[in-house]
Each structure stands twice: as structure tokens, then as C-alpha cells.
Amino acid sequence: MSKNITPSLPCSESNPFLTARLTWIIHERIRQARYSFNFCLTATVLSFGISVTGARYLISTQASEGAVTAAVGFWGSNCYM
């Protein structure tokens, strides 16, 4: 991934403040996109882990279907709010 991202505007040479501001905006948007991706990836992995744990309890008959469904639904929806 390239760290040297600069906007290519025809008027950027005439206004260095505009160039600096646009460069900052681009870097900020990329930073926010990285954080969003990392959060979504973490949430997906945690949901997968919770679902696998619930399936393990169902297969080993240590918990009823209703209890596993309620627990997975609770943790899957409330952990990320």
C-alpha cells in the first residue's frame, strides 16, 4: 500500500494549503477505512467463535437448543453495540 498519496488537481500547485488539506483528508479517510475493516473482521471472527461454541454444546448435548439459540443471539447482537 502506498503511503505517498497526493491529490492530482490542476489547481493544487497554485494553492499549497488546498493540497495539504486534501492530502490530510485522503489520509484520514484511509485511516478510518482501515479501522472499519479491522472492526468488522474482529466482529466476524468473534461471531464465528460464538457460533462454533454453541454448535459444540449442541453436539455434545450439554445444552438445549433453546438455550444455545438464546445465548448465541444475545452475544452475537449485544457484544458489538
Please indicate, yes or no, if residue 10 is contained in any of the structural domains: no
Hey, which of 33-37, 64-68, 77-81 has the most confident mean pLDDT? Answer: 33-37
What band does 33 get if pLDDT is binned at 50, 70 and 90?
very high
54, burial (CB in 10 Å: exposed 0-12, middle 13-18, buried 19+) = buried
Residue 1 in domain: no
Residue 71 belongs to a domain = yes
- pLDDT tens by residue, 3-19: 666 556 555 567 888 88
Overall number of domains in the chain = 1
Q: Pull the grid cell for residue 15.
A: 494553492
11 part of a folded domain: no
pLDDT level of residue 27 (50, 70, 90 thresholds)? very high
pLDDT of residue 67: 78
The grid coordinates listed for 71 are 445465548
What is the pTM for the complete model shown? 0.59
